[in-house]
Amino acid sequence: MSNPAKILTLVISTEIQKLRNTVALWLTLLYPIGSVFLASLFLYAGRENVKPEMVNFINNFNSMLAFFLPFFAVLMVSFLCQVEQRNSMPKHLFALPVPRWALYFGKLAASFLLMGVAWLLLILLVYLSLFILGSFSPRLKLSSSFDHTYLILLLIKTFLSAAALIVIQYLLSLRLRSVVAPIAIGTSLIILPIAILFVLGITGLISNPKMLEWLLRYDPYSYPFAFVFKISQGGEVKSDLFSWALTYWLIVAAVLSVLGYYEWRIRNIK
Amino acid sequence: MEPIDTNLIIETRKLDFAYNHQSVLRQIDLKVPHGSIFGFLGPNGAGKSTTIKALLGLLQVKSGMVYLFGKEFHANRIGLLQRTSAMVESPSLYEHLSATHNLEITQKLRQLSRDRIGVVLELVGLTKDSNKKVKQYSTGMKQRLSLAIALMSEPELLILDEPINGLDPSGIIEIRNLLTRLNKEANCTVFLSSHILDEIEKLCSHVAVINHGNLLFQGDISSFMLKYNQADSVILETGDNVQVSKMLLTDGAILEKDHVRVPFHSKQDIASMIRRINDAGIEIYAVERDRNDLESSFLEILTEGGNS
């Protein structure tokens, strides 16, 4: 077993096999279905007021999925790791003739793979939804002005915004044996900045949410929400696919995943 | 440095391990010969599972060395684990999957032939239940499945931590026979820890005793019995136990609750005792032979280790 690519492929294939009947797999299916369904519902309910511009439709879908993305990522990663922790599997896996790096990066890759599956499903479901909505309302009909590239790039960017979140949640879930603790920490980190914004808004300390957009940028857990805000203010997303904030969080994700591996490599399996 | 003994399949040298600055293993020098069935005995918390985890590289030992098949473990981890299989503590199984799927995961990660799945299921008697989810299994079935996973790779060295826990008597006999067969026919060295002394006595050719992280004894089972076995004793219930205990005092008689215990070395010793009691006109109600076994040797070694 000397070919690293082969080893990693083997580990990822077993990770996929372990997903049968797991919450992580169900979440991967439910998240796209739920977000597209809700976005479609809002779109249909406001069909008389919505500007029949294709870009508005796309932004509408993206806002909904960006809002649920951190919750999905936290739950999916936590439950994916829980498959091992719940069954005391680390000691079995570490006693197999498989390099530790393959076990670590294999599961991390499986987390990103599930994100990829959700992303693909979302794209399919957005098209399906617009096709169905168009048959009910002519204002929502797919037109030739529909920018397919914009849809795909926007979704890629939104998904990449959760990369650092996924890595941090992965490290937390590997470290903590109980599934409740990483979920509680992750959810708190998602909600906290939003709660601060909300309280500041109510108390009148801020009048324009844009003033606090930076707050979202510095919390990887609520960073995907920045897309909801930006789009709601009519911001352009396509032109800055790799904006400084996104690039920064992608680098953080890469660095953390490597540092996490060094910690995992020397960990005692009790 | 002392040369590696190639007759040993497992060798540790001055193995030390501590959890949160609390020493769990102290200077363990374990020597497991090739082809043996090696019983690893010790009470709860003695350090048995910790030793097994250290052997498999699951723990970062503070100091000391681990050698498997005559090679240093950490420098040769993958190659050595290819020749070794292990079952550590409670069965590690994906409970939401079937037995077949559990075995498939090990088969893929070890890159084995898929045919092995059927073979090991047959070996542990789980063929009929192979498609059931593991969460529906009894403790004994889970234990068998864990063993099946360990046997997937036809290992040269099988390390088992409490393998007969949760098994019913017939299951214990089956596993005992299976391990004996593997040892004899496949030349597989078996290293197993257990609390069940009777099983160790029936199964093992060699034994080691650990307590409070200290290795108190290791060697073949006959030398263990010889070293720690005192003479067997006879239990006498008589019409006057006090008088009998006085009469046989020079033989080492001890007056216990409702009987007298007297050690003996030969059958002639027993006949002589009975004759003397009869001659004294004391009635004998019962004579019972109390064979000294592994349990008493084990208790003795623990007491001796604790006192030292």
- pTM (predicted TM-score): 0.82
Tell me: pLDDT of A15 over 80: yes
Confidence of residue A242 (pLDDT cuts 50, 70, 90): low
Confidence of residue B246 (pLDDT cuts 50, 70, 90): confident
pLDDT of residue B230: 54
Residue type, A76: M
Percent of chain B past pLDDT 90, that is, above it, reads 55
Nearest to B96 among A22, A91, A267 (CB): A22
Tell me the nearest-neighbour CA distance from A91 into chain B, angstroms: 7
pLDDT of residue B167: 81
pLDDT of residue B112: 95
- Residues of chain A found within 8 Å of residue B111, distances taken between Cβ atoms: 1, 10
Residue A40 contacts residue A129 (beta carbons within 8 Å): yes
Nearest to A89 among B60, B86, B94 (CB): B94
Domain ranges within chain B, ordered by starting residue: 8-227, 231-291
Q: How far apart are CA A44 and CA B242, in angstroms?
A: 101
pLDDT of residue B308: 45
Residue A261 contacts residue A104 (beta carbons within 8 Å): yes
Tell me the nearest-neighbour CA distance from B34 into chain A, angstroms: 20
CB atoms within 10 A of CB B114: 10
Average confidence (pLDDT) over B201-223? 88
For residues A58 and B154, the model is more confident at: B154
Pairing of strands B189-194, B233-238: unpaired
pLDDT of residue B116: 95
Confidence of residue A22 (pLDDT cuts 50, 70, 90): very high
Average confidence (pLDDT) over B166-188? 88
Q: How far apart are CA B182 and CA A96, in angstroms?
A: 20
Number of inter-chain CB pairs under 8 A, A vs B: 79
- Residues of chain A found within 8 Å of residue B19, distances taken between Cβ atoms: 270
B79-129 pLDDT, tens digit each: 999 999 999 987 889 999 999 999 999 999 999 999 999 999 998 989 999
Confidence of residue B256 (pLDDT cuts 50, 70, 90): confident
Q: How far apart are CA B152 and CA B114, in angstroms?
A: 10
What does each C-alpha distance from B149 to A14, A54, B78, B106 come to in angstroms? 15, 56, 18, 7
Q: Do B82 and A97 touch (CB under 8 A)?
A: yes
Tell me the nearest-neighbour CA distance from B173 into chain A, angstroms: 25
Confidence of residue B157 (pLDDT cuts 50, 70, 90): very high
- Residues of chain A found within 8 Å of residue B57, distances taken between Cβ atoms: 94-95
Q: Do B95 and A86 touch (CB under 8 A)?
A: yes
Q: How far apart are CA A40 and CA A137, in angstroms?
A: 12
Looking at domain B231-291, its CATH class is alpha beta
Confidence of residue B1 (pLDDT cuts 50, 70, 90): low
Average confidence (pLDDT) over A155-170? 91
pLDDT of residue A210: 62
Average confidence (pLDDT) over B10-31? 92
Strand partners, B23: B18
What H or E segment, with its residue span, contains residue A24?
A: helix A23-45
Q: How far apart are CA A216 and CA A21, in angstroms?
A: 34
- Residues of chain B found within 8 Å of residue A86, distances taken between Cβ atoms: 95
Q: Do B58 and A91 touch (CB under 8 A)?
A: yes
pLDDT of residue A267: 86
Q: Of A10-19, A171-180, B88-97, B244-253, which one has max mean pLDDT? A: A10-19
Helix, strand, coil tally for chain A in percent (to 5): 75, 0, 25
pLDDT of residue A102: 96
Confidence of residue A81 (pLDDT cuts 50, 70, 90): very high
Q: How far apart are CA B14 and CA B62, in angstroms?
A: 10
Tell me the nearest-neighbour CA distance from A265 into chain B, angstroms: 10
Tell me: pLDDT of A135 over 50: yes
A29-55 pLDDT, tens digit each: 999 999 999 999 988 887 777 676 677
Does domain B8-227 fall under CATH 3.40.50.300? My reply is: yes
Residue type, B134: V
CB atoms within 10 A of CB B278: 11
Chain B residue closest to A84 (CA)?
B94
Q: Do A18 and B105 touch (CB under 8 A)?
A: yes
Percent of chain A past pLDDT 90, that is, above it, reads 44
Tell me: pLDDT of A17 over 70: yes
Tell me: pLDDT of A56 over 90: no
Tell me: pLDDT of A233 over 60: no
Tell me: pLDDT of A132 over 70: yes
Chain A residue closest to B106 (CA)?
A96
